[in-house]
Amino acid sequence: METSLQSLREGEVVRGTVVAVTADEVLVDIGFKCEGSVPVAEFTDPDTNRVEVEVDDEVEVFVERLDESEGRVRLSRDRAAKLKTWRHIEDAYKSGAAVKGKVLDRVKGGLSVDIGVRAFLPGSLVDLLPNRRLEDYLEQEIEARIISFDRRRSNVVLSRKAILEERQGKVKAETMEGLEEGKLVNGVVKNITDYGVFVDLGGLDGLLHITDISWGRVGHPSEYFKVGDEVDVVVLRFDRERERVSLGYKQRFEDPWILVPEKYPMGKRVSGKVVSIVDYGAFVVLEEGVEGLIHVSEMSWTKKVKNPRSIVDIGQEVEVVVSEVDVDKRRLSLSLRATQTNPWEQVAESYAVGTTIKGVVRNLTDFGAFVEIVPGVDGLVHISDMSWTRRINHPSEVVQKGDEVEAVITSIDSYNQRISLSMKELLPNEWEEYANTHGVGDVVAGSVTNITDFGVFVELAPGVEGLCHISEIDRDEGLALAEMFSTGQAVQCRILRIDWHESRIGLSMHGIDQDGAVEALTSSARPGGGETAMAAALRAGGVVEDGGTDAEGAADGEGAAAQDPAPAGEDAEDGA
C-alpha cells in the first residue's frame, strides 16, 4: 500500500472504474491498490438531478489529495475535464488548429463562446466584413482559431475571421488558377453600386461595370441584379498580380448593332418605347441594346417644341421613321413627325402666291400678326403689309387676337416653313389713287401735319402726304418755319415731283397765294389730323427728293441744300 501510494502524485489525471455509487459519493478504483472518492454532484445532471454514472463505468479523474493515513484518495471529475480542456486549448494554440464551440451570449465588444471553457470572440474577428448584428450568431456552432490564452486567468481569445480568411485563401488560389480572359465563369452578386456590380467568383471579387451589363441603356445596375443572385459572366480582363478582374454580362450575347443597317434602314417605319426624355429630345428603344433619338425638331411639323414631355411620356409606345443611321457612333436618328402628313406641303399644293385666304389671328408680335391658314400652319402679316400709307406702331392698332381677317399670300417657303401674307393688297392704295389724279404743276390744298427744321409736311388727302422743303417756301431771312406755320394750318402748294418708286410727293409754295388756302381746303376732301406715316418716315430717315432738295439736306435739316436755297430752287424748277 505504502509503495503504491508513493507512486501516485497529486495533480495527475488518471483513469479508473466506478465500483460504487452512494448518495454522497462515487467510489472509483484507480489502481495503485486503492480507491478514490468523487462527490456525486460532479456526476449529477443539474437539470434532471439524475446521476449519470453507473458501476463498472470508466471515467477520468483528477487526483486532488492523498490521505495515506486512511488509504483513501480525493478525486475530482470536473477538474480532470478542465485540465483536459486546457491541454487541448494549449495544443490547438501551438498548432494553429481550429476549435469548435457554441455561441452562448453577446457581450460587450463581441461574443461569448463555449469551447469547454468560456472564450471571448471580438466583434471585429467574427467575420471577414464588420457585422453589427452579432446576435444573429447566438446558439450557432462555429469554428475559430485561438489567438491568445491565459490559463491562470481563464482567459481565451478566438478569431473566426482567421479561419474564414484561410478558407477564402484556398478557394481564391483555386479560382485564380482557373481564370483566363474570355472564359465564362459563375459567381454570386456580392454588392451593387451606382457604377457596377461586384461578383464573388470564389474568394476573389470581380467588377461588372455598368457599361458591360447590357448593349442598351442601363439606368442603374439594380434594374438587372440583386445581392445574392447567381450570374454567368465573361472574364474580360484579368490582372493576376493586382488580383483584379473585369467582367462582362452583355458579352454573352451578340452585339445587336451588327444587324442594325439591315433591320433599320433609313426611311423604315418602326415601333419602340420611350425610355428617357431630355431637354433636346426623347430616346426610344427599338430592341434590347438598340435605341434612337427623336430630336425636338423631329417631333412636330408645326409646333416649336421646347419641352419634349409635352409630346411624349416615358413608357409610351410610339411609331417613328428612321431618318439617319451611324453604326460607327452607334446612333440612330428617328422622326416622329415623318409618320404624319406635312401640312406645309399641303399648303404649297393647295395655295399659290396671290391667293386670297381667310384666317383667324392666332398671335401678335411687335413686328406683325400670325394668321392660321390651315390647322397648324400660320402665315405672317408683317406690320408693313397692313396699310399702304398709315404708320402702324403695333399690329394691335389694326387687328386683335381671334379676329378673322382676309389677306393675300405673297410668298410661300415650304422648306423653311414660312408664308408671307398682306392685308394691304386688299385695300385701296390712297397714294396711287392720288398720284393718278394729279400731276406735276397742279396747285393743291392741304393741311400742315408736321413742322421740321428742313421743311413742312402737308397732308393732301387721307393717307397722302407731301413735303415742302424749306428752300421751296418764301420767307424772310432768319425767320423759322415754326414761326410761319402751325399744325393743322391750311396751305396751298404746287406739285413739283411725284416719285412712284418711293411713293413721295415734293411740293413748293413759291409764288402761291395763301389767302385762299382755307377756302380751297374746305372745298376739297378734308384730311385728318396728326402726324402721318410718310411724315414720320421722311423725318426719321431724312430721304427727301422733291423740289431739287437732296437727301443730305433733309437729313441734316440745316444741310447744304437748306443753306443754299437758290441752287435747290433752280433744280426744282428744272424738275417741274
All structural domains of the chain, each given as residue ranges with its CATH number in brackets, are: 2-81 (2.40.50.140), 98-164 (2.40.50.140), 179-252 (2.40.50.140), 256-339 (2.40.50.140), 343-426 (2.40.50.140), 437-575 (2.40.50.140)
Pinpoint the alpha helices (H) of 96-246: 160-178
CA angle at 39 for the pair 38 and 45, rounded to the nearest 5°: 110
pTM of the model: 0.44
Rounded Cα–Cα distance for residues 467 and 444 (Å): 13
Rounded Cα–Cα distance for residues 116 and 45 (Å): 17
Phi and psi (nearest 5°) for 4?
-70, -45
Per-residue pLDDT of the chain (576 residues; tens, 9 = 90+): 344 555 666 667 778 888 888 888 878 777 766 678 778 877 777 777 787 778 878 887 877 777 665 567 777 777 777 878 788 888 888 888 889 999 999 999 899 998 888 899 998 888 888 777 888 889 899 999 998 988 778 888 999 998 888 888 888 888 888 888 889 999 999 999 999 999 998 888 899 999 999 888 788 999 899 999 999 999 999 988 888 999 999 888 888 888 889 899 999 999 999 998 999 999 999 988 898 999 998 998 877 888 999 999 999 999 999 999 998 888 899 999 888 877 777 787 788 888 898 999 999 999 999 998 888 788 999 998 888 777 788 999 889 999 999 999 999 887 788 899 998 888 777 788 888 889 999 999 999 999 999 999 998 888 788 999 999 998 888 888 999 999 999 999 999 999 988 888 999 999 888 887 777 777 664 444 444 443 343 344 333 333 333 333 333 333 333 333 333 333 333 332
Residue 246: per-residue pLDDT: 93
- Torsion, Cα 526 530 535 537, to 10 degrees, reads -130
Rounded Cα–Cα distance for residues 473 and 481 (Å): 9
Residue type, 73: V
C-alpha 245 chain-centroid distance: 31
SS3 444: strand
How far is residue 401 from each of residues 299, 410, 422, measured CA to CA in Å?
A: 27, 22, 17
Q: Which of these, 208, 205, 202, 207, lies nearest to 175 by C-alpha position?
A: 202
Kindly provide the b/e burial profile for residues 476-486, where b requires at least 16 CB atoms within 10 angstroms of the residue's own CB: eeeeebeebbe
**Cell triple for 564:** 443754299
Contacting residues for 85 by C-beta, under 8 A, at least 6 apart: 115, 116, 117
Residue 5's CB is within 10 A of a number of other CB atoms, namely 17
Residue 343: per-residue pLDDT: 79
Rounded Cα–Cα distance for residues 476 and 500 (Å): 33
Residue 88: per-residue pLDDT: 85
Q: Based on C-alpha coordinates, what's the Rg of the chain?
A: 55
- What count of Cα atoms within 13 Å lies in the side-chain half-sphere of residue 568? 28
Say which DSSP state 66 is in: E
Contacting residues for 302 by C-beta, under 8 A, at least 6 apart: 343, 344, 376, 377
**Cell triple for 407:** 389677306
- 73 near 66, Cβ under 8 Å? yes
Contacting residues for 437 by C-beta, under 8 A, at least 6 apart: none
Strand 269-278 relative to strand 281-287, pairing: antiparallel
| CA quadruple 523, 526, 531, 534: dihedral sign | negative
Residue 254: per-residue pLDDT: 85
